[in-house]
Structure 1
Amino acid sequence: MTSLLPVLVYLALSLLITRVWSARQAKRSQQFCDDKAKRFFIGGAFLGGPLLALTLVATYTSAGSFIGGPGAAYKFGLGWVWLAVIQVPVVMLTLGVLGPKFLAQKKRYSTIIEWLDQRYSNHWLSIIAMLSLVVGFIAMIAVQFIGGARLLSGVTGISYELGLTIFVLTVLAYTLTGGFRAVVLTDALQGIVMLLGLFILLVVILNQPQLGALLAQTTLESPELISPHGVGNALGWPMMLSFWVLICFGTMGLPHTIVRLLAVKDTKSLKRGMIWGTIICFLMTLIPHLCGFLGRVLFPELAIPDEIMPTLIAQLMTPFWAGILLAAPIAAVMSSVDSMLLQSAVSIVRDGMVRAYPSMSATWQVRLTQVVMVVITALACFWAINPPDMIVWINLAAFGALQAVFLWPIIAGLFWPSVSGRSALFAMCSGMVSYLSLQLQIPLQAGIHPIVPALLISLMMLIISHCGERLCISRTLKAK
């Protein structure tokens, strides 16, 4: 239990520091000062360059990157490290392509659903978007809970159930007492902790005296570990290219990254965020996956690949320093959970209950949001009680589902003014149905991830519906 104390101290200190910090920053912000609910949900246009970069990358970096990703690199070899680095341009795409469009919006929105509703004015589109967001986020939150509990259990020696309980209670303490501004500032602090912890872990691994000899022996016995296509040729070019769509291009459709664009301060912040975010994303992607691959050399007999990061921390560090280093992956998981938990709860309250009861006071909106957070946490915790051996597939499946629903409606809403809510609804539904249907087809057809055909089908339905509507309008005008 010695190594658990530094983690608990870190969590308590980060909670205290970020809440004091966010309270001071909120007093300086004049925007939304007359609306308590909006202050809690979005916090105003306050994101500058470095803060934007840290919160965006910290939110995108999760248990999938610190637990599932290294576990996949442990199993498939260096090819998975190469596969993961494909996602590095994600910040440039999100901030460079979508950022200026959202920044140019005359009205400031609290949620992505609120923006979709304003843009398309389609009741069913808003409902399906809200339900998809909440279900997808619950699945992803469950993955984060599994990752956090495995970290605590693997490093400190406590049971998985106790680790899950500690992690869930910490998540609630972080999200219930803050709001969006506090979540963002927490993400920024935890992003810094992540980087420091990753550098320390990599240095410790590289300083192992037997690493060079073991690496030469392992690659000689299993040359597929250093092949670009991975063990068993599982990572062929179709999979590589389709994964670029899933973990890079398609991330422009992830609501928990898009919501950051609703709080960007100005154009200068976008430009600085692109530079800093790309550098940070590269480091946070490369180092943990490389640690997972090198862990295969040091600990080749693990039955569960996802245990490699906890094993590295526990086996290569003293108990006290293992607890210190554990703060880095815990921060990665926390920074994703708080964002998704807050946004899913806000969507239910702001985009669901408030629409049904427009006269609901701001105080009640905040209170109901906190109640919904507890309910969502309980559901995700229930799903996390019996975890699978590898969480990376669940995380990627949820990623793809959200992208299939949101990507084209978001892009069309920003860049194609004539697209109607009906066409966006067709794209949303066809993307969701096709992705879920293809996701059940195991093994993958031709080694292509289901996100590629799902997005193609969604785009095709959007274009067909839009062209059909324009043709009908044209014929109606001619008839008159």
Structure 2
Amino acid sequence: MTSLIPVLVYLALSLVITRVWSARQAKQSQQFCEDKAKRFFIGGAFLSGPLLALTLVATYTSAGSFIGGPGAAYKYGLGWVWLAVIQVPVVILTLGVLGPKFLAQKRQYSTIIEWLDSRYNNRLLSNIAMFSLVVGFVAMIAVQFIGGARLLAGVTGISYELGLAVFVFTVLAYTLTGGFRAVVLTDALQGIVMLIGLMVLLVVILMQPDLGSKLAAETATTPELLSPHGVGGGLGWPMMLSFWVLICFGTMGLPHTIVRLLAVKDKQSLKRGMIWGTLICFLMTLIPHLCGFLGRIIFPDLAIPDQIMPRLIAQLMTPFGAGILLAAPIAAVMSSVDSMLLQSAVSIVRDGIVKKRPNMGATQQVRLTQLMMIVITALACFWAVKPPDMIVWINLAAFGALQAVFLWPILAGLFFPSVGGKTALIAMCSGMVSYLLLQLQIPLQAGVHPIVPALVISLLMLLLSHFISQTRVKRAISSH
């Protein structure tokens, strides 16, 4: 139990530090002073370059990157490490492509659903988007809970159920006591902790005696460990290319990363965010997956691949040192959970309930949002009670579902003003339905992830619907 003490101390200190920090910044900023609800939901345009980079990468880096990703690298070998590095340009895409467009918006939005509602003025589209966001986030939050509980259980020796309870109560303490600004500052602090912890773990692994000779012996026995296609050849080029769509290009359709663009300070912050974010994303992607691959050399007989990171931390460090190092992956999981939990609760209240009750006071909106956080946490906790052996596939499935729903409506809304609400709705529904149907057919014979055909179908439906609507408009004009 010794190793649990530094974790609890870290969580308590980070909670206090970020709340004091956010309170001081909120007092300095006069923006949204008259709207307590908006101040809680979005916090104003306050994200500078380094802060933007840290919160974006910390939110994107989750249990999938620290538990599921290294577990997959443990199972499939170096090929999964190369597969993971595909996501490094995600910051350039998100900030460089979408950032200037959102920055040019004259109105400040609290959620991505609020922006979609303003852009398309289609109630059904907004409702489907809100439902998809909440369901997708509940699934992803459950994955984070599983990852956090496995970390605590694997390193400290407590039961999985107790680890889950500790993690859930910690998440609630973080999210209920602060709004978006506090969450962002928490992400920034935890992003720094993640980076330092990862570097320490990699150095410890590389200093293990006879690592080189063990690596040579293991790869001689299983040469596919060094193959770009992975053990068993499961990572063929169609899968590699489709994963580029899933974890890189498609991330422009993830609501919990895009919401950061609603709080960017200026263009200079976007430029600095791209530079810092790409560097941080590279390190936070490469190091944990490389640790998972090297972990197979040190502990070759794990029955559950997702246990590799807890095993590395617990076995290679002293109990107290393991507790300190455990703060890094816990920070990764926390930084994703708090963002998704806040955003899903805010969407239910701001984009659902407040629309039906527009006279609801700001304090009541905040209290109702906090209640929704508790409900969503309970649902995710229920899903996490009986976890699967590998969480990476659940995380990626939720990733793909959100992208299939949001990607083309967001891109069309930003870059093509003539695209209307009905067209965006058709693209959203076709993407969602086709992705869910394709998920039932896994594994596809062509080795392509379902996100690729789903996005192709959604795009084709968008183009076809837009062409038909434009043709009708031209006929109506010519008839007059």
What range is the shorter-chain TM-score in? Answer: over 0.9
CA distance in 2, matches of 1:445, 1:53: 38
CA distance in 2, matches of 1:43, 1:445: 47
Counterpart residue identity of residue 177, structure 2: T
Give unmatched runs, 5+ long, in structure 2.
none
CA distance in 2, matches of 1:330, 1:424: 38
Counterpart residue identity of residue 244, structure 1: W
Q: Give the match's secondary structure for 1:447.
A: coil
Q: How does 1:330-345 map to 2 (within 5 A)?
A: 330-345=330-345
Residue of structure 1 equivalent to 2:38: 38
Residue 46 of structure 1 deviates from its aligned partner by 0.2
1:165 and 2:139 correspond: no
1:438 and 2:442 correspond: no
Residue 165 of structure 1 deviates from its aligned partner by 0.1
Residue of structure 2 equivalent to 1:368: 368
Residue 475 of structure 1 deviates from its aligned partner by 1.0
CA distance in 2, matches of 1:33, 1:405: 34
Residue by residue, what CA displacement relative to the aligned partner does 1:331-365 show, whole Å, maximum 9, x if unpaired? 00000000000000000000000000000000000
Counterpart residue identity of residue 396, structure 1: L
Residue 477 of structure 1 deviates from its aligned partner by 1.4
Name segments (4+ residues, structure 1) moved above 4 Å: none
Residue of structure 1 equivalent to 2:191: 191
CA distance in 2, matches of 1:26, 1:308: 41
Residue of structure 1 equivalent to 2:47: 47
Residue 138 of structure 1 deviates from its aligned partner by 0.1
CA distance in 1, matches of 2:477, 2:268: 45
- Matched length: 480
CA distance in 1, matches of 2:104, 2:183: 24
Residue 442 of structure 1 deviates from its aligned partner by 2.1
Counterpart residue identity of residue 122, structure 1: N
Residue 479 of structure 1 deviates from its aligned partner by 1.6
CA distance in 1, matches of 2:366, 2:477: 48
Residue 444 of structure 1 deviates from its aligned partner by 2.0
Residue by residue, what CA displacement relative to the aligned partner does 1:35-68 show, whole Å, maximum 9, x if unpaired? 0000000000000000000000000000000000
Q: Give the match's secondary structure for 2:110.
A: coil
Of stretches 439-448 and 137-146 in structure 1, the one that deviates more from structure 2 is 439-448
CA distance in 1, matches of 2:48, 2:134: 28
Q: CA RMSD in A?
A: 0.4
CA distance in 2, matches of 1:276, 1:449: 30
Counterpart residue identity of residue 255, structure 2: P
Residue of structure 1 equivalent to 2:182: 182
Residue of structure 1 equivalent to 2:379: 379
TM-score using structure 1 length: 1.00
Counterpart residue identity of residue 232, structure 2: G
Counterpart residue identity of residue 443, structure 1: P
Residue of structure 1 equivalent to 2:321: 321
1:450 and 2:450 correspond: yes
Q: Give the match's secondary structure for 2:163.
A: helix
Residue 445 of structure 1 deviates from its aligned partner by 3.1
Residue 476 of structure 1 deviates from its aligned partner by 1.3
Residue of structure 2 equivalent to 1:407: 407
1:297 and 2:297 correspond: yes
Residue 296 of structure 1 deviates from its aligned partner by 0.4
Residue 283 of structure 1 deviates from its aligned partner by 0.1
Residue by residue, what CA displacement relative to the aligned partner does 1:153-212 show, whole Å, maximum 9, x if unpaired? 000000000000000000000000000000000000000000000000000000001211
Q: How does 1:247-258 map to 2 (within 5 A)?
A: 247-258=247-258
TM-score using structure 2 length: 1.00
Give unmatched runs, 5+ long, in structure 1.
none
Residue of structure 2 equivalent to 1:118: 118
Q: Give the match's secondary structure for 1:445.
A: coil
CA distance in 1, matches of 2:454, 2:108: 31
Residue of structure 2 equivalent to 1:263: 263
Residue by residue, what CA displacement relative to the aligned partner does 1:77-124 show, whole Å, maximum 9, x if unpaired? 000000000000000000000000000000010000000000000000
